[in-house]
Structure 1
Amino acid sequence: MAVRLGRRPTLAGQLLVLQLAIVVVVLVAVAAVSLAQSAATFNRVEGRRVTALAEQLSGNQTLRFGIRHPAPAEVLAPLLQTTLTQSGVTSITVADAHGRIIAATNPTTIGSALALGDPWVASGRGWSGELRLGDGKELVSQVPVLSQGTDANGRPDGTLGDHIGTVMVGEQAPSIWQRLRGASSYLAIYLGIACVLGLLGSWLLARRIKRQTLGLEPREIAGLAEHREAMLYGLAEGVVALDPHLRVTLVNDVGRRLLDLPSNAVGRSLRELGIEGRLREVLAGEDEARDAVVVRRGRVLVMNRMEVLKDGRSLGSVTTLRDRTELAQLERELGSFRSSAELLRAQTHEFANQLHTISGLIQIGEYDEVVTYVGALNRYRESLDLTVTRRVHDTAVAALLMAKSSLAAERRVELRVSERTTLLRLDPALSADVATVVGNLVDNAIDAAAQSGTPLSPAWVEVELRQDATSVEIVVRDSGPGVAPELAQEVFAHGFTTKAAAEGERGIGLAMTRLICRRRGGEVAVTNNADGGAAFVARMSAQRTPEGAR
Structure 2
Amino acid sequence: MLFKPVRLSLLTQIALLLTIVVIISTFLVSLLFSSMIDEMVESYMGKQAMTVAKLAAQNEKIIDAFQEKNPTVTMQPIAETIRKTTGASYVTIVNTKGIRYTNPNPDSIGKHTATSNDASLLREQSVIYKDTGISGPAIKAKTPIWNEQGKIIGVSSVGFLLNDVEEQTDVYRTKIIQLAMIPLAIGAVGAMIIARRIRKVILGLEPEEISSLFKEKEATLESIRDATIVINTQNQVSSMNRKARLLFGGQTIQKGYVIKEKKLQTLLKEVLTFKEERINQPVVFENQLFIADLSPFLKNGQTEGIVLTARPISEVEKLTEELSQMKAFSENMRSQNHEFLNKLNTLYGLLRLGQYERAMQLISQEVQERQDVISFLVSSVADPMIAACLLGKLNRAKEQQVSLTIDEESSLSLSLTAQEAQQMVSIIGNIIDNALEAARTEKGREGKVSVSFTDFGKEIVFDIEDNGAGVPAHMEERIFQEGYTTKTGENHGIGLTIVQHALQQLGGDLYLSKSQLGGTRFTIVVPKKEEFDGDD
Matched residue, 2:243:
254
Equivalent position amino acid for 2:131 in 1: L
1:124 is matched with: 124
Q: 1:375-412, CA deviations, whole angstroms, 9 ceiling, x for partnerless residues? A: xx99xx79x969x95xx887875786577567547643
Match of 1:18 in 2: 17
Query: Which residue number corresponds to residue 50 of structure 2?
Result: 51
Counterparts of 2:54 and 2:515, CA distance in 1: 118
DSSP 3-state at the match of 1:112:
coil
- How far off is 1:426 after superposition? 5.2
Q: Distance in 1 between matches of 2:318 and 2:425?
A: 14
Match of 1:133 in 2: 131
Residue type of the alignment partner of 1:254? K
Asked if structure 1 preserves the Cα contact closer than 8 Å seen for 2:397 and 2:403, the reply is yes
Aligned counterpart, 2:148: 148
**Residue matched to 1:231:** 220
Query: Do the aligned residues in 1 keep the contact of 2:402 with 2:448 (CA within 8 Å)?
Result: yes
Question: CA offsets per residue over residues 122-176 of structure 1, 9 Å max, x none?
Answer: 6435555xx2313987555454444424xxxxxxxxxxx3566654434345799
Aligned amino acid, residue 124 of structure 1: E
1:463/1:69 CA distance change after superposition, 3 Å: farther
For the residue of structure 2 that corresponds to 1:225, the secondary structure is helix
* Superposed displacement of residue 88, structure 1: 2.5
2:531 & 2:160 partners in 1: Cα distance?
A: 114
- 1:277 is displaced (CA, Å) by 2.0
Corresponding residue for 2:468?
480
| Paired residue secondary structure (2:88) | coil
CA, structure 1 residues 538+163, in 2 after alignment: closer, same or farther (shift >3 Å)? farther
1:444 aligns with 2:434: yes
Of the candidates 277, 281, 296, which is equivalent to residue 267 of structure 2? 281
Please state whether the residue corresponding to 2:160 is helix, strand or coil: strand
Residues 1:76 and 1:468: Cα distance change in structure 2 (over 3 Å): farther
Return the match for 1:513 from 499, 504, 509.
499
Deviations 1:52-93 (A, max 9, x none): 323223323465567799999999777655543443324556
Report the CA distance between 1:8 and its aligned residue.
1.7
The answer for the alignment partner of 2:4 in structure 1 is: 5
Counterpart Cα distance in 1 of 2:403 and 2:34: 104
Q: How do residues 167-186 of structure 1 correspond to structure 2 at under 5 angstroms?
A: 167-172=156-161, 178-179=167-168, 181-183=170-172
Paired amino acid for 2:293: M
What's the counterpart of residue 155 of structure 1? none
Q: Cα offset for 1:538?
A: 5.2
Change (3 A) 1:544 1:21: closer
Could you tell me how far apart the structure 2 residues matched to 1:345 and 1:237 are? 35
Aligned residue in 2 for 1:112 = 116
Letter in 2 for 1:84: R
Could you tell me how far 1:452 is from its partner in structure 2? 1.3
Q: Which residue of 2 aligns with 1:158?
A: none
In the TM superposition, 1:77-92 aligns within 5 A as 80=79, 83-92=82-91
Question: For the aligned residues, what is the CA RMSD?
Answer: 5.6
The runs of 5 or more residues in structure 2 that have no matched partner are: none
Q: Please say if residues 34 and 180 of structure 1, whose CA atoms lie closer than 8 Å, have aligned partners that are also in contact.
A: no
- Code of the aligned partner of 1:516: A
Matched-pair contact (CA < 8 Å) for 2:98–2:113 = yes
In 2, Cα distance between equivalents of 1:36 and 1:537: 96
Contact 1:261–1:273 (CA under 8 A) maintained in structure 2: no
Which position in structure 2 is the counterpart of 1:412?
402
Distance in 1 (CA, whole Å) between partners of 2:452 and 2:125 is 119
Answer yes or no: is 1:190 the counterpart of 2:182: no
Q: Cα distance 1:461–1:171, how it changes in 2: closer, same or farther (>3 A)?
A: farther
**2:535 aligned counterpart, secondary structure:** coil
CA deviations on 1:217-263 (whole Å, 9 max, x unpaired) are 44444443343334333444554445566555554333444566769
Distance 1:70 1:280 in 2: 113
Among 327, 330, 335, the residue aligned to 2:324: 335
C-alpha distance in 2, partners of 1:478/1:502? 21
Task: Please tell me the residue identity of whatever aligns with 1:112.
Answer: S
Which string of whole-angstrom CA distances, capped at 9 and with x for unpartnered residues, describes residues 279-337 of structure 1? 86279537745555667565754636364465x55555555556785464254156357
Looking at structure 2, the residues matched to 326 and 56 of structure 1 have their Cα atoms a distance apart, in angstroms, of 105
Secondary structure at 2:158's aligned position in 1? strand
Looking at structure 1, the residues matched to 457 and 90 of structure 2 have their Cα atoms a distance apart, in angstroms, of 119
Deviations 1:461-506 (A, max 9, x none): 455667865x656564444345697895676644x7x7x8444433
2:198 is the alignment partner of 1:199 = no
Aligned residue for 1:434? 424
What count of residue pairs does the alignment treat as equivalent?
507
CA 1:176/1:80 → structure 2, altered by over 3 Å: closer, same or farther?
A: closer
Alpha carbons of 1:180 and 1:44: their partners in 2 closer, same or farther (altered >3 Å)?
Answer: closer
Q: Is the 8 A contact 1:35 1:179 kept in 2?
A: no
C-alpha contact (below 8 Å) 2:471/2:520 kept by paired residues = yes
Matched, 1:453 2:451: no
Q: 1:453 aligns to what SS in structure 2?
A: helix
Relative to the length of structure 2, the TM-score reads 0.68
Q: Label 1:525 to 1:53 Cα distance change in 2 as closer, same or farther (>3 A).
A: farther
Corresponding residue number in structure 2 for 1:305: 295
Query: Quick check: 2:277–2:296 contact (8 Å CA) kept in 1?
Result: no
Calculate percent identity across the aligned residue pairs.
19
User: Does the 8 A contact of 1:418 with 1:464 survive in 2?
Assistant: no
TM-score (norm 1): 0.67
Instruction: Find the counterpart in structure 2 of residue 152 from structure 1.
Output: none
Structure 1 segment 503-542 matched on structure 2, within 5 A: 503-506=489-492, 509-520=495-506, 522=507, 529=514, 533-534=519-520, 536=522, 540=526, 542=528
Post-superposition offset of 1:418: 12
Is the 1:463–1:475 Cα contact (8 Å) retained in structure 2? yes
Q: Superposition pairs for residues 353-364 of structure 1, below 5 Å?
A: none
1:60 corresponds to which letter in structure 2?
N
Match of 2:531 in 1: 545
Whether the aligned pair in 2 keeps the contact of 1:412 and 1:459 (CA below 8 Å) is yes
